[in-house]
Structure 1
Amino acid sequence: MSKSSTTIESDWLHIPHAGELLVSEFMEPLELEIPAVAQAIEVESARLQALIDGSERIDGELDLRLSRYFGMSEGFFMRLQTSADLRVAKRALNGELDRIAPRAA
């Protein structure tokens, strides 16, 4: 069964933040729950929940804890956050960048 064009369009428009990717790419495949991960990385469950909900952003400390726990390079989760932030900003500019001429060297 194929997805409707509305579903495909809304999927395309959605830009996942670092917390969403933490869940979909790490926690769900490993069947990990928030309290277990929070305890393992020594943070409050509420802080991890806020990250997943998108109400808290990745900072250096949380990145280091998550990166160590999941065996990723330092800065991995911050790069996910930055990448999502840039895509959101670019979408919001809606072509305005095209009007800026790059400075000649």
Structure 2
Amino acid sequence: MAKKGEDVFEAPAGGFRFGPIHPGRTLAAELEARGLSAHALALKLRVPANRIGEIVAGKRGVSAETALRLGRYFGNSAAFWMNLQTKYDLEIAEREFGERIKAEVEAA
């Protein structure tokens, strides 16, 4: 599939569909809603500033430890943040390996 824009891909039937959404986009929206910078959040979470900055930039995934800290700070759960990461990772893997795996692995 050819990439059409930042998050929009051409679908096989000629339509368009949105690409995987990195958890950093959700985190960026939370930061914006609260008027916080990535650096300020890092201080509150007691993690290196580059960790949050890289997550927001989509260059780093959310680890279990970071998910625990984010869940505690935002009042949701670590599972929320881990589920975002897992969904993103699976969508990326499906795009990269899905067709090859379908051809190589016979279903039981």
Q: TM-score, normalised by structure 1?
A: 0.74
Q: TM-score, normalised by structure 2?
A: 0.72
Identical-residue share of aligned pairs (%) = 29
Q: Among 11, 14, 23, which residue is 1:18 paired with?
A: 23
1:41 corresponding residue in structure 2: 45
Between Structure 1 and Structure 2, which shows a larger proportion of helix residues?
Answer: 1
1:55 corresponding residue in structure 2: 59
Q: Measure, in 1, the Cα distance between the counterparts of 2:8 and 2:37.
A: 30
Between Structure 1 and Structure 2, which shows a larger proportion of strand residues?
Answer: 2
List runs of 5+ in structure 2 lacking aligned partners. 10-15
Q: Measure, in 2, the Cα distance between the counterparts of 1:48 and 1:40.
A: 11
Q: Measure, in 2, the Cα distance between the counterparts of 1:9 and 1:48.
A: 25
Backbone CA RMSD of aligned residues = 2.3
Structure 1 residues 42 and 9: CA distance shift in structure 2, 3 A: closer
Q: Is the 8 A contact 2:39 2:53 kept in 1?
A: no
Count of paired positions: 97
Q: Measure, in 1, the Cα distance between the counterparts of 2:8 and 2:62.
A: 28
List runs of 5+ in structure 1 lacking aligned partners. 1-5
- The equivalences for 1:1-105 within 5 A come to 9-10=8-9, 12-24=17-29, 26-96=30-100, 98-99=102-103, 100-103=105-108
Compute the displacement of 1:68 (Å): 0.3
Could you say what secondary structure the match of 1:56 adopts?
A: coil
